[in-house]
Amino acid sequence: MWVARKVARLVVVVFAVSALTFLLTSLLPGSPVDDILGTKATDPVLSAQVRHDLHLGDPLPVRYVHWADGVLHGNFGRAYNDNEKVTDIIRQRLPVTLELLVAAQLLALAVAVPLAMVSAYRADSGLDRIITATSFGTLSIPDFVVAIVLVFVFAVRLKWLPATGYVHLSDSVTGNLRSITLPTIALALGLSAVYTRLLRADLIATLQEEYILMARAQGLPTRRIMLHHALRPSSFSLLTVFGINTGALIGGTVIVEYLFALPGMGFRLVDAIGRREYIIVQGLVLVIAVGYVLANFLVDLLYGMLDPRVRHA
């Protein structure tokens, strides 16, 4: 019952998201044919093709149905200058974006969990204040500033890592890791600050619980109390935000991909905007938005499974 309601909601939201994405082309200031084809709009064959593909002769709702029908059959549209299809772009570029996403999330957790535990264990100590203040400050630093400073220090001055470019995993494992190290750090820094603060706050609340006092009275070592008794019940909000971010990062890597010239979806999105390939932009936005909705849906389901109280709220 609870799952059925969630699925119904998912269907409604996906429909609304697709409708809004479809309407993006109507934001174009000029006529769609002129804006999509640019200088080639004078070509009668091409412009007839665009008019036919987008069903421009039909009223808006009919056009939406045609468009949605195409999407459901795996036709997200294509670029008119080189015939590149949105589906090809996704197949080639989604793995790059996903690799960056997973690496950044793992690094952020690896930094945040120990910091939050150290911080929460002695709340208000000198170390806690330093960690809390640093993570607060980090939240104010945009990822693009982190990125260019990282390039300046590690690529230009120290020459440890490449400044831009991407090496495929199949070509060289170390080369691949080297090429995503700086972008991963640029993304992970802000994430780790968010996670540290969330987990710290929840840990502090958990550590006030009586069963923690009980465990302490039994003489259990601090490490064991923190890892086995406190961490798990404190990780709900962390897991929620972690899940939401996983969805958000599919599109949130745009700027970092662009700065480091990583051939992911975000890079192609910016490229398509620059080349006025509006159909490609529309297709990629749809994929990113639906990915985000699905990620949130899975977080909701997982949350309901982990904590039955949610299902009855």
Partner 1 sequence: MPDLTSATEVLDSLATNARSSSRRYGPAFWLPAVWIGIVAAGALLASVLPLQSPLRSDYAHVAVGPGTGGHLLGTDEIGRDILARLVFGARVSLTVGVVAVAVGIVVGGTIGLLAGYYRGKVETVLMAIVDVLLAFPALVLVIAITAFLGQSLRNVTVAVAIVAIPAFARVTRGATLTCAQRDFVTAARGMGATNRRVLIHDVLPNVVLPVAAFALVVVGVAIIAEGGLAFLGLSVPPPDPSWGSMIYGAKNKLADGTAPFISLIPAGVMLLTVLSFNLAGDHLRTLLNVRESTL
Per CB under 8 A, 259 contacts partner 1 = yes
Taking CB under 8 A as the criterion, the residue among 54, 269, 279, 299 binding partner 1 is 269
CA pair distance 157, 292, nearest whole angstrom:
38
133 phi and psi angles, rounded to 5 deg: -65, -40
Estimate to the nearest angstrom the gap between the alpha carbon of 8 and the chain centroid: 24
Q: Which of residues 10-49 bind partner 1 (CB under 8 A)?
A: 12-13, 16-17, 20-21, 24-25, 27-29
Which of 255, 261, 298, 310 is the binder for partner 1 (CB under 8 A)? Answer: 255
Least Cα distance to 42 among 29, 31, 53 occurs for 31
Cβ proximity to partner 1, 226 vs 289, nearer residue:
289
Compute the least distance from the CB of residue 313 to partner 1, in Å: 14
| Spatial CA neighbour of 243 closest among 305, 183, 308, 301 | 301
Distance between CA atoms of residues 297 and 244, nearest Å: 9
Residues near partner 1 (CB under 8 A), total = 62
Q: Is 254 in the site for partner 1 (CB under 8 A)?
A: yes
Within 10 Å of residue 132's Cβ, how many Cβ atoms? 18
Q: What is the distance between the alpha carbons of residues 145 and 197, in angstroms, rounded to a whole number?
A: 21
Q: Would you count residue 8 as binding partner 1 (CB under 8 A)?
A: no
Task: Give CA–CA dist 100/122, Å, rounded.
Answer: 34
Interaction pattern, residues 194-213, with partner 1; x per rule: CB under 8 A: x--xx-xx--xx--------
3-class secondary structure, 13: helix
- Give the list of residues 6+ apart from residue 243 with CB closer than 8 angstroms, or none: 295, 296, 298, 299, 302
Scanning 42-50, 57-65, 82-90, 247-255 for contacts with partner 1 by CB under 8 A, the matching segment is: 247-255
Using rule CB under 8 A, residue 239 touches partner 1: no
Q: Of these, 47, 258, 263, 279, which contacts partner 1 (CB under 8 A)? A: 258
**Residue 68 found at the interface with partner 1 (CB under 8 A):** no
Q: Using CB under 8 A, which of 98, 177, 212, 248 touches partner 1? A: 248
Question: Which residue in the set 114, 142, 165, 221 belongs to the binding site for partner 1 (CB under 8 A)?
Answer: 142
